[in-house]
């Protein structure tokens, strides 16, 4: 471990557990750091955008994505394999009468492999606490004004579960291919704090 927290009591405990696992042959020396680095390096919002674009253009893929996110993203070469375990991916589709938004109220659990490193606002205590209590107000602050009749569902991520929002396909995009459609999708749209 490096950086300013390497000498903290928690870092010392983590290093002790890693050393025990290495001594028993369950981990190779440095394996945890290597896996974390590889996992973080491979993540990009472009991955999530490609998944959405495929779902917008292929109804069968959309069905599979909503039924089993892990299996569907594997079809495109992506994985929810974490540093030590695979997280379950659940994908929720926004519709005319419903809107989904993702948060991790305890910390900042987030699908890094599909969205890249999490933005600062996602990790902030203000977002994590307020979006649960007042999702409509928080979305308004992000520039998302939804009709009063739109049901908003907040999904709380955890160490085992990650969530991805499938935004509604924008009107007037029928002639666009997957690559062009993917270019319309933002990380905020995949979290639910933007419409696309």
| pLDDT tens string 20-38 | 888 888 878 877 776 666 6
Which of 7, 44, 109, 118 is catalytic? The answer is: 109
Instruction: Look at residues 109, 105, 160 and name the one whose alpha carbon lies nearest to residue 135.
Output: 105
Q: What is the largest CA-CA distance in the chain?
A: 60
Residue in 170, 155, 152 with CA at minimum distance from that of residue 97: 152
Q: Quick check: 161 and 91 in contact, CB under 8 A?
A: no
* For range 107-124, the mean pLDDT: 90
Q: Please list the residues that pair with 81 across neighbouring strands.
A: 86
Catalytic residue from among 108, 118, 158, 161: 108
Average pLDDT for 172-188:
97
Q: Give, in words, the CATH class of 43-191.
A: alpha beta
Helical pair 59-67 and 45-57, crossing angle rounded to 10 deg: 120
79 is catalytic: no
- Show the tokens assigned to 144: 């998302």
Active site residue 161: no
Examine the residue annotation and report whether 109 is marked as an active-site residue of this protein: yes
pLDDT tens digits along 124-168: 999 999 999 999 999 999 999 999 999 999 999 998 999 999 999
- Distances, alpha carbon 164 to alpha carbons 87, 97, 103, 157, 182, in Å: 12, 18, 10, 10, 15
Catalytic residue, from 2, 8, 44, 104: name it.
104
SS3 of 119-169: the string is CHHHHCHHHHHHHHHCHHHHHHHCCCCCCCCCEEEEEECCCCEEEEEECCC
Q: Examine the residue annotation and report whether 108 is marked as an active-site residue of this protein.
A: yes
Q: Which is catalytic among the residues 7, 8, 79, 107? A: 107
């Amino acid at each position: 471990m490096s950086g300013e927290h390497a000498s903290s009591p928690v870092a010392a405990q983590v290093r002790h557990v890693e050393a025990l696992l290495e001594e028993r042959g369950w981990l190779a020396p440095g394996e945890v750091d290597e896996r974390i680095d590889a996992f973080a390096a491979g993540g990009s919002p472009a991955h999530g955008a490609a998944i959405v674009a495929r779902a917008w253009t292929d109804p069968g893929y959309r069905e599979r994505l909503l039924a089993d996110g892990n299996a569907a993203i594997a079809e495109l070469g992506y994985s929810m394999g974490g540093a030590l375990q695979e997280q379950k991916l659940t994908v929720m589709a926004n519709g005319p009468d419903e809107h989904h938004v993702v948060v991790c109220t305890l910390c900042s659990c987030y699908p890094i492999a599909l969205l890249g490193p999490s933005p600062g606002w996602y990790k902030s205590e203000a977002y994590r606490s307020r979006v649960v209590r007042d999702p409509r107000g928080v979305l308004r602050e992000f520039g998302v004004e939804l009709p009063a009749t739109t049901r908003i569902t907040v999904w709380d991520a955890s160490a085992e579960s990650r969530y991805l929002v499938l935004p509604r396909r924008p009107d007037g995009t029928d002639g666009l291919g997957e690559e062009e459609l993917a270019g319309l999708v933002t990380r905020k749209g995949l979290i639910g704090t933007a419409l696309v």
